[in-house]
Every structure is written in C-alpha cells, then in structure tokens.
Amino acid sequence: MKLITHNFLSSKCMKGVNVGFPLKISASDVKVTEVDFNPEFVARIMQKIDYPALYTATESIGHLEDLPKQMVENYENDEHFLKKVHHALLQLEVINGELICPETGRKFPITNGIPNMLLNEDEI
C-alpha cells in the first residue's frame, strides 16, 4: 500500500466512529520502489492530500528522512519539496503490517501491499 492510498483511507463507516482518520500504520515490511518523478502530478495531488497525515505516516514507517514537518509555501514551484513528497507518496510502500482505527483500535491487515478494510457485520 502506497502512502498516497493511505492518505485517502478512513474507518468512518464503522459503527461508533466519527472521523476514523488518519489510520495509524504498524508496518512490518516496507519497500522503496523507484517511480518516475512528475512534478505536475505531485503539485496537483497536494491539494487533496492531508499533509500532517502524510508526515505522520511517513514517520511511523521509519522513512521520514528529511520530509519537512510543515508543507512549504508556494510548493508548486519548489521542486526540492515536490521530490520529497513524491518519494513519500509514491515510492514508499507498506508490504505487510496493519492499519489501526484511531478511535476504536480496530486493526486492518495489510498483506502483500493490499489493505483489507472489510468489516464484520456487527461493525456496520
């Protein structure tokens, strides 16, 4: 699961969950894959990304490196910043681990890079 995917997942559909975002990550296996850098794509997707959630996710999997804690102003024209975000969003992949609901503690497994967010009948 790439961190771009993580940034859009929530457990809000669970019974008793109001926000369900951001899901915590407990990673047992993380892979770094080279992906061609596309600054236009990264700049456009930044409008939809919750940056604090991305920062926390990157930190939790042990690959924070030098990603700034705060999103920089005028990021559209800052190629250095866009490359760091590109790395976090598209090159880091959680292969195995768990996503954890911040409100209930419910764990969702990540196996072979695929998060299983299926709920039990009593959780809906």
- pLDDT tens per residue, range 96-113: 999 999 999 999 999 999
Q: Which residues, 6+ apart, have CB-to-CB distance to 50 below 8 Å? A: 7, 21, 22
Q: Which pLDDT band, with edges at 50, 70 and 90, does 120 fall under?
A: very high
Which amino acid, 87?
H
pLDDT for 43: 97
* Predicted TM-score of the model (pTM): 0.94
The string over 75-105, giving b where at least 16 C-beta atoms fall within 10 Å of a residue's C-beta and e elsewhere, is: beebeebbebbbbbbbbbbbebbbbbbeeee
Q: Exposed, middle or buried, 69 (CB in 10 Å: 0-12/13-18/19+)?
A: exposed
Q: Give the model's confidence band at 90: pLDDT under 50 very low, under 70 low, under 90 confident, else very high.
A: very high
Name the band, by pLDDT with cuts 50, 70 and 90, for residue 9.
very high
Provide mean pLDDT across the span 82-108: 98
Domains and CATH numbers, the chain: 3-115 (2.20.25.10)
The predicted-structure confidence for 11-64, as pLDDT tens digits, reads as follows 999 999 999 999 999 999 999 999 999 999 999 999 999 999 999 999 999 999
